[in-house]
Chains A and B, each alone.
Chain A
Amino acid sequence: MSDRDFFDDDLDDEALAEQRAVRALLSSLPDPGPVPPDVLDRIHRTLRALQEEDAAHMSAGSAGGADTGADTGATVVPLRRRAAGHRALWLAAAAAVVLSGGGAVVSQLGSDTSARDTAASVAGGSPSPEATSGAGARGVAPAEPGGRVYASGTDYRRADLVRQALALLAPGPRRPAAELPGAAGLLADPTTLIACVRAVGAAPANLLAADLATYEGRPAVVLLLTGGSASTGSSAREVLVADRDCRPGTARRLTSVPVP
C-alpha cells in the first residue's frame, strides 16, 4: 500500500508534503500504553455485574420460568437465552418471546398498604394537566427528592438505554410526547406508579425517575432506580424497563441494565 493511498488525489506537491508531515507527526506520538489499573478495575467490575445479572436471569429462567424469589416475588424469564447452543435458534426464541408477549411475569410485591402513603414522595403529588393530556408533556411532576415522572415518548433503545435513561436526571425540557396510550392511567393516579414499581421488583423509595415512553418501539415505562432492584441485589443504579401496562399481576419486565 502506497502512502499515497492515505491522501486525497488532487493535492499539489506542497499540500501533499504538508499532509505527509502531519501524518508522520501523528504516527510518531507515543502510545498511551495499557489501560490504567483503576480503569481496568472498573471494567472488570462492570463485566462481573453484567455476568451476575445474566446468571440471575438464567437461574430464574431455568426454574421453569416460575421462580418466585423470596426477595422479589418476581418471575423473570431471561431476555437472553444463554447456552442455547445456536445463535439462530437463540434469535428465533427471543423473537418468539417478544412477539408472543412473553418475558417476565412479575407478581405483586407485598401489600400495597403503604403505596398510597408513598405516592406523593414518588410522583410528587398530582400530575399536571400537561402530563395527563398525553400531548406536549414535559417533566410532569417535579417530585420530591428522588422521583421525577415524565411522559417523554422517547423511543429507548437497548444499545443506548443507560445513556437515554440518565438523561432523565438532566435539567431541561423533554421533547414533546407523542400519543401515549396508557400514559394517563399511570400518571393520573400516583399509586398506580407505586404499584408498578413494586410489581417489577423495585422499591418505590429508590425511584429516581420514571418515563412513559417506548422501548424498542414497544410501549413501556422506563424506571431509573438507585440502590438497585431486588433482582440485582446491587447497590448501584439500575435502569429497568417494563411494559406500559404495568400493574401488579400483569407487569412485564422487558429488561434491566445496571448503570456503570
Chain B
Amino acid sequence: MKNVITFLLLGAGTIATAQTVGPTSSATSGSGTRQPETAFSSTVDQSTAISYIVCSKMRPSQRIQLIDSLGNDLGAKDITSLYEFLKRPTGLQGEDPGVLHFIKNEVFTALRHQSTPPVGLTEVFISISQDARQDTATRDYAVQHLVSWYRGGLLDSPSARVRIRAALEKLAESHDCVAGTALLGLHHLAPLEPAIHTKDLQRIALAMVRSKDSNSASMTTAIQVCAEEHIKEAVPAMEIWARKQGQTTLQRAAISALGMLGGSKEVALLRDLGRSDPLLKAVADQALRRLEHPVASRQSF
C-alpha cells in the first residue's frame, strides 16, 4: 500500500488519469514548454526540416520538434514553403485534421516569431481566415494569430495594420463561423489601438447579439463583449439567452453579462435562475453580487 503524502493544498492524484485536451496549444503561446523527444532535429538542415514539417507522413511529434528547431532567421525560400503548406486546404492534405490543426498552429507561431517579420505573413493570415476551403479550426487559428501578430508590434509592411483591422471588421460583420473570434480580436485590440473606434466595435457586437444568423459560439462571445463594452442595448437579448436552457456556455455568458450590465430589474431574474437550476446557482449568485457591487468592466475576482 503506497503512502500518499499531501503536504498542502494539492489533492493526491490530480493529474494521473486526466485527459489532455487537444489541441491545447494556444495561438498566442510561446514555444517554451515542449520538450523534444529525440535528437532528430539536430540531424537535418533547415530546408530539409521544412520539407519534413509539411510532410503528412512524418510523425507529428517529429514535425513539432522540427518546428521548434526552426529558429528565427528563416530564409525567403523556406518561408514560402511554409506559406504554401499553410494555405493548402485541410481536406487536400489527407491527414488527421486534429494533427494538422496543431501543426499549422505551431507553424503560425514560428513565423510570427521570426526576427525579421516575414514578408507576406499578414496576407497569409488574412487569406486563410477568409478561405472557405479551410476548415473552421484552421481559420479560427488564423484569426487568433492575426490578432497576436498585430499586438506584437513589428509587422511586415506599413499598411499591415490597416489591412488587419479591415479584415477583422469584415469577418466580424459577416456572420461567418469565425466572426466571434474576429470580434474578440477587435475587442482586445481596442484598448491598445486608437484606430479601432469604440462605436464601430459596439455596433458590430450589438449586431451580432441581435442577429438570428449568429452561431452559438459567436453569440456567446458577442454577449460578453457587449457586457464589457457596456452596451446596455444588448440586455434584452441577454435576458432571452439567460433563460434559455440547453446551451450551457451561452446561458452562463448571458447570466454573467446581466450581472455586469443589468439593473434592479434583472435581480429577480437572476434569483429565479439560481433557484430553478442548481447548476446555475453559483453563476447567478456571482452575477447578483456584481449587481450589488459593480466593478470595472474588466472583472476582477
Q: Do A and B bind each other?
A: no
Using a CB–CB cutoff of 8 Å, the interface residues on chain B facing chain A are none
Using a CB–CB cutoff of 8 Å, the interface residues on chain A facing chain B are none
